[in-house]
Amino acid sequence: MTTSRLEAFSAGVIAIIVTIMVLELRAPAQPTWPALLKVAPNLLSYGLSFLMVAIMWVNHHHLIHVAREATARLLWSNLNLLFWMSLVPFVTDFLGKNYRQPMAVALYGVDLALCGSSFFLLRAELARQASADTNLVEYHAAMQRKNLISAALYFLSVPLAYVSVYASFFIFALIPAMYFLPEKKLVGKEN
């Protein structure tokens, strides 16, 4: 399998994930503000998850472009990431229906932490492939720190959910903000 086929397969899976998430949304039966407010938690959890999946897709797109070859280790690391991402529609729906319940908030945090950890593993394989290129090694090291911080914060959101779901929600909002901060450009490798 070439890296372009790997990217196309992954983009297809991610598109299905987003489609499943939106299909879980249900419009209110009545066209009133109170009825719309009742489904607001579902809409908000969808919006947050859409943003998270979009960030993962953009990062995955850039990540796969620096792959030298589609090794078995790269393929399995990618499938590991896609597995945890495929659970995002489930945890999103569960969170939207139970947004005040620590278990639902914690489960959402667990899945996102495992997505973040999977990115770390995927990038580790790509860093291994690029070990002769010092620019790529530096770039991967910087991005690995960001992956570790994100995964650690997501893991922290799990026990925090039992103290305050709002603390976990703060983490869920903080991490996307981290990914919108400007990053060091990799000269000659941008697509």
- Looking at residue 184, its pLDDT comes to 58
**What distance in Å separates the CA atoms of residue 49 and residue 164, rounded to the nearest whole number?**
20
Residues 80, 72 contacting (CB under 8 angstroms): no
Residue 54 lies in a domain: yes
Rg of the Cα atoms in the chain: 18
20-61 per-position pLDDT tens digit: 999 999 999 999 999 999 999 999 999 999 999 999 999 999
The percent of residues in the chain predicted with pLDDT above 70, rounded, is 94
Residue 115 lies in a domain: yes
Residues 21, 88 contacting (CB under 8 angstroms): yes
Residue 186 lies in a domain: no
For the entire predicted model, the pTM comes to 0.91
- Looking at residue 182, its pLDDT comes to 65
Residue 187 lies in a domain: no
- Looking at residue 190, its pLDDT comes to 45
Residue 184 lies in a domain: no
Q: Which pair of structure tokens corresponds to residue 156?
A: 């922290």
Residue 191 lies in a domain: no
- Looking at residue 81, its pLDDT comes to 97
State yes or no: pLDDT of 173 exceeds 50: yes
Higher pLDDT, 110 or 63: 110
Residue 118 lies in a domain: yes
Domain that residue 49 falls in: 3-179
Residue 189 lies in a domain: no
3-state secondary structure string, the chain? CCHHHHHHHHHHHHHHHHHHHHHCCCCCCCCCHHHHHHHHHHHHHHHHHHHHHHHHHHHHHHHHCCCCCCCHHHHHHHHHHHHHHHCHHHHHHHHHHCCCCHHHHHHHHHHHHHHHHHHHHHHHHHHHHCCCCHHHHHHHHHHHHHHHHHHHHHHHHHHHHCCCHHHHHHHHHHHHHHHCCCCCCCCCCCC
Domain count, the chain: 1
- Looking at residue 185, its pLDDT comes to 58
- Looking at residue 1, its pLDDT comes to 65
Considering 27-36, 65-74, 152-161, the range whose residues carry the highest mean pLDDT is: 152-161
- Looking at residue 191, its pLDDT comes to 45
